[in-house]
Amino acid sequence: MKLWEKRQNDVVILAVHGRFDATTAPLFEQQVAPMLDGGDKNFLLDLAHLDYISSAALRRLLFLAKQAEDKGGKVALLSVQSHILEIFDMAGFTQLFQFYTDQEEAVRSF
């Protein structure tokens, strides 16, 4: 998995590439934990280049959403491919996140 970070207004945009599973989830946490500690609370995850997501990774996203919500922020998802969306849907996670296809619109939603 590779992560690219950029910021727009007060939103952290994280582009996740490759596989997001139990093996790669610690890398995700290493990157996100300091941001939460530093006061970031709005996260937009760009999943356009995500190849695979496991239930362990979905749980990490749920924890992140809970932590962001506790700080008054939220997690939204951008450009989710259909096969990844199917996994979200199967796990019942589509109701837990807002999904966007346009980055500007997604950033405005925070």
- Positions that interact with other proteins (CB under 8 A): 19, 21-23, 52, 54-56, 58-59, 62-63, 66, 83, 87, 90-93, 96
CB of 13 to other proteins, least distance (A): 24
CB of 28 to other proteins, least distance (A): 15
Residue the block writes with tokens 């970031």:
40
| Closer to other proteins by Cβ: residue 20 or 100 | 20
| Closer to other proteins by Cβ: residue 10 or 89 | 89
Query: Strand, helix or coil at 39?
Result: coil
Residues with Cβ within 8 Å of residue 14, at least 6 apart in sequence: 3, 4, 5, 31, 32, 43, 44, 45, 46
CB of 6 to other proteins, least distance (A): 28
CB 27 within 8 A of CB 2: no
